[in-house]
Amino acid sequence: MTEHHDYQGAKMGMWIFLFTEILLFGGLFVLFAVTFQRYPTEFHEASKLLDVTMGTTNTVVLITSSLCAALSIVALQRGERKRSEMLIGLTILLACCFLVIKYFEWSAKFHHGIYPGSTEIADWAPGKQAYFALYYAMTGLHGIHVIIGMAVLGWVWWLIRREKCTPDHFVALENAGLYWHLVDLIWIYLFPLYYLIT
Amino acid sequence: MADTAQGFMAPKGRHWILEWLFTIDHKRIGMLYLWCIALFFVVGVLLGLIIRLELFGPGKDIIGPQAYNAIFTLHGVIMIFIVVIPSIPAAFGNIFLPLQLGAEDVAFPRLNMFSWWLYIIGGAIALVSLFTGGGAPDTGWTFYVPFSAVTSTNVSVAVAGVFILGFSSILTGLNFIVTIHRLRAPGLKWTRLTLFAWALYATAWIQVLATPILSITVVLIAIERLLGMGIFDPARGGDPILYQHLFWIYSHPAVYIMILPAMGVISDIIPVFCRKSIFGYKTIVGSSLAIAFAGSLVWAHHMFVSGMSDTAVMVFSLLTFVVAVPSAVKVFNWLSTMYKGAIRPEPPLIFALGFIFLFAMGGITGLVLGSAGTDMHVHDTYFVVGHFHYVIFGGTGFGMFAAIHYWFPKIYGRMYNKKLANISAVILVVGLNGLYFPMYLLGLAGMPRRYYDYLPQYTELHQWSTYGSWITAIGLILMFYNLIHSRYRGELVGRNPWQAATLEWTLPSPPPSHNFDEEPVVTHGPYDFHEVRDHD
């Protein structure tokens, strides 16, 4: 079956999809902005409870993974298939690291009873509760995107192995890379918002 | 490629169910949408008739209050998310957009199939929510918090369905944008695009840019309910008004997802039946884009009484007036096209005229609601119900009916009974006015919307409205009978029974699986009928 390849069309479709993803998170950023404006001191207090070290480590992990994804595209374009595969593998591995660190970070919080709807935080000031509601909503949604991104990268890895994604037709890898950069980008906004601005 | 009499609907070898469910042919996908939408429309209408019957007299007539709340919620959810939003773009857009562009298919055929699957899964989940858990949702289709966060009914499942339906809508929009940008036939410049394609283009951008906000909003309701999140709960630092903002940032532009494609259909139909090029092609294009843009800035006019600042109320009131301008521009363009045209009163035109009248009734009362002062008086009354039913049923619904009657001979290669079609159109116009005009009067008299019971002084108007619903039902039965009967028994027609000038009419009816044997080269605009006359 002959398929027509429209490189520009495929890229355009992906960019439009990324816009929708930004808007999806945009709703939450709006909620954050409004709530932050309403409870500046409570947000200040609450953000001190987050672990900056873990957040920073995760930022570094995710940026590195994004670099690997970008290098993998270059490798495939140059025809270095093995290296491209390895770099995608590395991207997925780093994504796993991100999730593991996130897991420890969240479970420590859960251990202290800091999660929406817990009896521990029921007595807290409303602003502090709102901070953690948004924190879990936004980092949780981001986490789901990390998992989806890993699945997409895994799929492209398989495509490359089956030589369905080749140095001539690499748009699947490129689009997966774009998606991964978006996942990275959203974290780059989440990180200072929650961990650094106090 | 030899055409069979059945065109793209001819069997291809595999079992016919598999062949249809996993088709990547845009025409078949469009047909799948069309049938599903028709089916859900019938369900929605039946629910609407039950609501009207219950409201025939004060107190209990046929159902209790809880069932009433569930039924109007269901009526809204089905009609808005499953019927009206996908109606014209997903059904007729899928069938005819690639044909009008001279393309083989949409840009991403597999994604297109995936969109339909999402649509069906989302619709099924929405239906499942009725019969499982704590019973059908009773929140109204807007799922307003705080009630939607605390009610014991099955809201979480229903919003999951809406989320998936939204995803389907986004992907369809994305597909259309890329298709229009990339797959136009040689010579098909942007200024030679049909106005239907232009309307779909404007619609697609709204689908892509507005729907994600709804997605996140319904996700938040679900996690508010499942995890006790507190994002909209004031006791925990949240704010229910923020929910309304997020909801309407999508759902107001969604109104234009509903109406713009219908306007596109009307803009395609009127020149054909007046044998005259459309008046002001560029202003119609411009007004479509202007509606898409300005329509995204007016969401807060749903919230004038929610406690916004006076400045905000004035700004949103003004913006609402602004969005009425391009809509009015279109109406004047249609009327100017008809002026001194050689009018042929065929059914598509009759439906189009019904559309213009009913849409104008809805549009003008929209201004009453958009003006902050008058809105205070009629806010959340039957006036609003009348307004949006005129726009959505009288507008989108009639646009849909006009589209069916316009393209029916192309899809099936057969013609329906024109006289019967005209009669059903007239009955429907009468029925809709009977059904919805009393609602304006009820609203002005102070009857609140969504109420199960009412004071005796509203009885007479409610009864008129219910009579109207019966007339509407008769019109619908007649129309559906005519179409279904003609699908099998109708007289065979050739390629171009209406002598239209757009590309889909150059193909056999029904079109073959492979659209164009050779890529068409476009040398004139979509409403240039000189060439068509030469062919005949």
Instruction: Give B25-63 as a DSSP string.
Output: -HHHHHHHHHHHHHHHHHHHHHHHHHHHHHTTSSS-SSS
- For chain B, what is the mean pLDDT? 92
- A174 vs A158: CA distance, rounded Å: 14
Mean pLDDT confidence for B288-299: 92
Contact B305, B379 (CB under 8 A): yes
Give B39's pLDDT tier (boundaries 50, 70, 90): very high
- A9 vs A15: CA distance, rounded Å: 10
pLDDT at site B533: 59
Contact B97, B180 (CB under 8 A): yes
Contact B195, B526 (CB under 8 A): yes
What is the C-alpha radius of gyration for chain A, rounded to an integer number of angstroms?
A: 19
CB atoms within 10 A of CB A107: 10
- B92 vs B27: CA distance, rounded Å: 9
Mean pLDDT confidence for A15-38: 94
pLDDT digits (tens, 9 = 90+) for A53-96: 999 999 999 999 999 999 999 999 999 999 999 999 999 999 99
Mean pLDDT confidence for B3-24: 80
Residue keyed to tokens 């507005």 = B210
pLDDT at site B1: 38
Token representation of residue A69: 């994804």
Mean pLDDT confidence for B495-504: 92
Q: What is the ipTM of this complex?
A: 0.91
pLDDT at site B9: 86
Q: What is the DSSP string of A88-103?
A: HHHHHHHHHHHHHHHH
pLDDT digits (tens, 9 = 90+) for B503-525: 999 999 899 999 998 889 998 88
- B317 vs B322: CA distance, rounded Å: 9
- B393 vs B469: CA distance, rounded Å: 12
pLDDT digits (tens, 9 = 90+) for A163-195: 899 898 999 999 999 999 999 999 999 999 999
Mean pLDDT confidence for A97-107: 95
Model pTM?
A: 0.94
Determine whether the interchain pair B220/A137 forms a contact, defined as Cβ–Cβ distance below 8 Å.
yes
Contact B413, B7 (CB under 8 A): yes
Q: Is residue A43 less than 8 Å (CB to CB) from chain B?
A: no
Binding-site residues on chain B for chain A (CB distance < 8 A): 107-108, 111, 170, 174-175, 177-178, 181-183, 208-209, 211-213, 215-217, 219-220, 223, 227-231, 234-239, 242, 245-246, 249
pLDDT at site A1: 33
Q: Is residue A20 less than 8 Å (CB to CB) from chain B?
A: yes
pLDDT at site A22: 94
**Is the model's pLDDT at B444 over the cut of 60?**
yes
**Is the model's pLDDT at B2 over the cut of 50?**
no
pLDDT at site A3: 53
Q: How far is B245 from chain A (nearest CA, A)?
A: 10
Contact A171, A9 (CB under 8 A): no
Mean pLDDT confidence for B448-454: 93
pLDDT at site B213: 92
Q: How far is B241 from chain A (nearest CA, A)?
A: 11
- B248 vs B144: CA distance, rounded Å: 11
Give B15's pLDDT tier (boundaries 50, 70, 90): confident
**Is the model's pLDDT at A7 over the cut of 70?**
yes
Among A17, A134, A141, whose Cβ lies nearest the Cβ of B231? A134
Mean pLDDT confidence for B396-419: 96
- The one-letter amino acid code at B55 reads L
- B450 vs B453: CA distance, rounded Å: 9
Mean pLDDT confidence for B138-154: 88
**SS3 of B478, please?**
helix
Q: How far is CA B293 from the centre of its chain?
A: 18
Determine whether the interchain pair A137/B229 forms a contact, defined as Cβ–Cβ distance below 8 Å.
yes
Mean pLDDT confidence for B323-340: 94
What's the residue count for chain B?
Answer: 536
Mutate to test the interface with A, among B108, B229, B232, B513 (most CBs of A within 10 A): B229
**Is the model's pLDDT at B327 over the cut of 70?**
yes
Q: Which of B3-12, B208-217, B421-430 has the highest mean pLDDT?
A: B421-430
pLDDT at site B468: 97
DSSP B269: H
**Is the model's pLDDT at A162 over the cut of 50?**
yes
**Is the model's pLDDT at B306 over the cut of 90?**
no
More confident residue, B216 or A117: B216
State the alpha helices, DSSP H only, in B228-309: 240-274, 281-294
- B30 vs B87: CA distance, rounded Å: 10
**Is the model's pLDDT at B162 over the cut of 60?**
yes
pLDDT at site B69: 92
DSSP B492: E
Between the CA atoms of A19, A21, A22 and A24, what dihedral angle is there, to the nearest 10 degrees? 130
Taking CA–CA distances from B176, the nearest residue in chain A reads: A13
Residues facing B414 on adjacent strands: B492
Sign of CA dihedral B141, B142, B147, B152: positive
Mean pLDDT confidence for B379-396: 95
pLDDT at site B404: 96
Determine whether the interchain pair A137/B217 forms a contact, defined as Cβ–Cβ distance below 8 Å.
no
Mean pLDDT confidence for B357-371: 94
What's the residue count for chain A?
Answer: 198
**Is the model's pLDDT at A153 over the cut of 50?**
yes
Q: Which residues from chain B sit within 8 angstroms of residue A131, using beta carbons?
A: 237
Determine whether the interchain pair B236/A20 forms a contact, defined as Cβ–Cβ distance below 8 Å.
no
